[in-house]
Amino acid sequence: MLAIAEQEWLKGFLDFFFPPLCLGCGMYYEGQDSICGNCFQKIEEFDHPFCLNCDSIVPSGSQCPICLKDSALLYVFADYRPPLKEIIINFKFRGITSPAKTFARAIASKFEKQLADFNAQAIVAIPLHAARKNHRGYNQAELLARELAGITNLELADNILYRHKRSRPQSRLELKKRQANVAGVFAAVECENEIKRILLVDDVVTSGATVLEAKKCLEQNGYTVVGIVAIAHGH
């Protein structure tokens, strides 16, 4: 063990060469979550889920006021705009994985009631194609799902859903082409009835085409997708 004075010295030394910088604004700050209080305050949380069919807010129940039927709902923590957008870009592309824990906690506390109501048996993350995951070194949605599984005491089922075809990044396509881009990209191991009720997790949902395609693939293989959660939603 280092003496207190040595610990202080070491911290000062590390801070000098590797100052803790906020992932949202890039400013120096002291804290645990890699996100400063100022940036956290600016994150615009959503109070209601979205209809994945028409993107409308669903204020209560599961019936969309526009589609006038029960829709697949997306429970999402906040709006995909700065500073959250910058934080997620750091998380997704720059090898900074600490937001997984921060946002798993945020999702678990914001949607505590819904997560209990889903009564899921396992969590499945939207997979990356193996080549993309190898290139990046990790799948950010899976890191988030793993943290969420730890908090909720659910199993992380990382061997059920696969992305067997590569697709172009959705963000570079117009809305109409996004559905076609992800059609048939997933494959799933057939349900053997031990784990049936799935909570689907993604980091960012834009048009919803990807999560809906994953849901369809899981359901074609005998699972029930009981809930869909994400950190951010936007375009």
Q: Which residues bind Zn ion (CB under 5 A)?
A: 22, 24-25, 36, 39, 51, 53-54, 56, 64, 66-67, 71
Q: How far is CA 113 from CA 116, 157, 185, in A?
A: 5, 22, 32
For Zn ion, give the closer residue by CB, 71 or 139. Answer: 71
CB of 8 to Zn ion, least distance (A): 25
Q: Whole-number minimum distance, CB 69 to Zn ion, in Å?
A: 8
Stated as kind and residue range, the H or E segment containing 78 is: strand 73-79
SS3 content of the chain, % helix, strand, coil (to 5): 40, 20, 40
**Which residue type, as a one-letter code, is found at position 52?**
L
Q: Please say which residue, 10 or 54, places its beta carbon nearer to Zn ion.
A: 54
In whole angstroms, the minimum distance from the beta carbon of 27 to Zn ion comes to: 6
The H-assigned helical ranges of the chain are: 4-17, 37-42, 84-93, 99-110, 112-118, 130-136, 140-152, 175-182, 209-220
Which CB sits closer to Zn ion, 25 or 187? 25
Q: Are 147 and 174 in contact (CB under 8 A)?
A: no
Rounded to a whole number of angstroms, the minimum distance from the CB of residue 145 to Zn ion is: 25
Q: Which is nearer to Zn ion, 54 or 130 (CB)?
A: 54
Query: CA-CA distance, 136 to 93, in Å (whole number)?
Result: 7
Q: How many CA atoms lie within 13 A of 215 on its CB side?
A: 21
Question: Closer to Zn ion at the Cβ: 163 or 233?
Answer: 233
Token match 């890191």: residue? 143
Minimum separation from the CB atom of position 56 to Zn ion (A): 5
Q: Measured from the CB of residue 61, what is the shortest distance to Zn ion in angstroms?
A: 12
**Cβ atoms within 10 Å of 120's Cβ, excluding its own:** 22
Residue placing its CB nearer to Zn ion in the complex, 114 or 121: 114
Judged by DSSP in three states, 73 sits in strand
